[in-house]
Chain A
Amino acid sequence: EIVLTQSPGTLSLSPGERATLSCRASQSVASNYLAWYQQKPGQAPRLLIYAASTRATGIPDRFSGSGSGTDFTLTISRLEPDDFAVYHCQQYTSSPHTFGQGTKVEIK
């Protein structure tokens, strides 16, 4: 089983700042089959990034994904008020299709 560890657990930033979220895998994620999701309170998650770096339909370009192998990053270039939420990474290269524990991006 591939274990995903997200860091930090909480990120306190101000609107306009840059957010850098990490997702580290316990073993290589083949084909960079890694996705990022955004989840707001009381809502279902929303797909942001798949295949490590491809933005999903309708996702603003301030969201970008990078990385390969075992180290992946989600970057939000300039935080907008709507971006404060919990972010989850998920690998889908092998079963079980594990998720990380999540990173909360909160307003400082």
Chain B
Amino acid sequence: EVQLVESGGGLVQPGRSLRLSCAASGFIFDDYAMHWVRQAPGKGLAWVSSISWDSGIIDYADSVKGRFTISRDNAKNSLYLQMNNLRPEDTALYFCTKTTAYYSGMDVWGQGTTVIVSS
């Protein structure tokens, strides 16, 4: 079964850091691009960051550029999102997703991990 399982969310104070992880299974992880998408409470979806299969292409939303770092470890079938200098507006459910190519629809989604930034 193709599966993505996020972890690492939690309650954190503004200005602090958090690292999200996404464990992939059921497919050849290093064949595919991976992405992070977030959804603030009661809001729509917002793309956060993308990384190609070999980490050769990396993109960020302007709202997180310079604060968030996406990475992957193909040997561990894992995707990461290092989030520094967190802000209250980063509060959201963070989804890990997979695409068949870097530029493609997101065909597999995890269930998400919740990040709450509050003092």
| A interface residues, Cβ below 8 angstroms from B | 1, 31, 33, 35, 37, 39, 44-47, 49-51, 56-57, 88, 90, 92-93, 95-102
- Asked if B1 is at the interface of the complex by the 8 Å CB criterion, the answer is no
**Chain B residues within an 8 Å CB radius of A101:** 44
Find chain B residues with CB under 8 A from A57 CB. Answer: 107
B65 to chain A, nearest CB (A): 10
A-B contact pairs, 27 of them (CB 8 A): A1-B62, A33-B103, A35-B105, A37-B45, A39-B45, A44-B95, A44-B111, A47-B106, A50-B104, A57-B107, A90-B45, A92-B103, A92-B104, A92-B105, A95-B59, A96-B47, A96-B61, A96-B62, A97-B35, A97-B47, A97-B59, A98-B47, A99-B44, A99-B45, A99-B46, A100-B44, A101-B44
- B1-51: which residues lie under 8 A (CB-CB) from chain A? 35, 37, 44-47, 50
Which A residues lie within 8 Å of B59 (CB)? 95-97
**Given contact pairs A45-B109, A92-B104, a sample of 10 additional A-B residue pairs in the complex whose CB atoms are under 8 Å apart:** A33-B104, A39-B45, A50-B105, A51-B105, A90-B47, A92-B103, A95-B59, A98-B47, A99-B44, A101-B44
Q: Which residues of B contact A (CB under 8 A)?
A: 35, 37, 44-47, 50, 59, 61-62, 95, 99, 103-107, 109-112
Do the beta carbons of B110 and A44 come within 8 Å of each other?
A: yes
On whether the beta carbons of A35 and B47 are closer than 8 Å, the reply is no
Distance between A85 CB and nearest chain B CB, rounded to angstroms: 13
Question: Given the complex of chains A and B, what is the CA–CA distance between A50 and B97 in angstroms?
Answer: 15
Residues of chain B contacted by A47 (CB below 8 angstroms)? 105-107
Residues of A within 8 A of B111 (CB): 44
Q: Which residues of A contact B104 (CB under 8 A)?
A: 33, 50, 92
Report how far A1 CA is from B62 CA in the complex, Å.
10
A88/B44 in contact, CB under 8 A: yes
Q: Which residues of B contact A45 (CB under 8 A)?
A: 45, 95, 106, 109
Contact (Cβ within 8 A) B106 A37: yes
Q: What is the minimal beta-carbon distance from B107 to any residue of chain A, in angstroms?
A: 5
* A97 lies within 8 A of B44 (CB): no
CA gap between A97 and B31 in the complex, in Å: 20
* B47, B62, B112, most chain A CB atoms within 10 A: B47
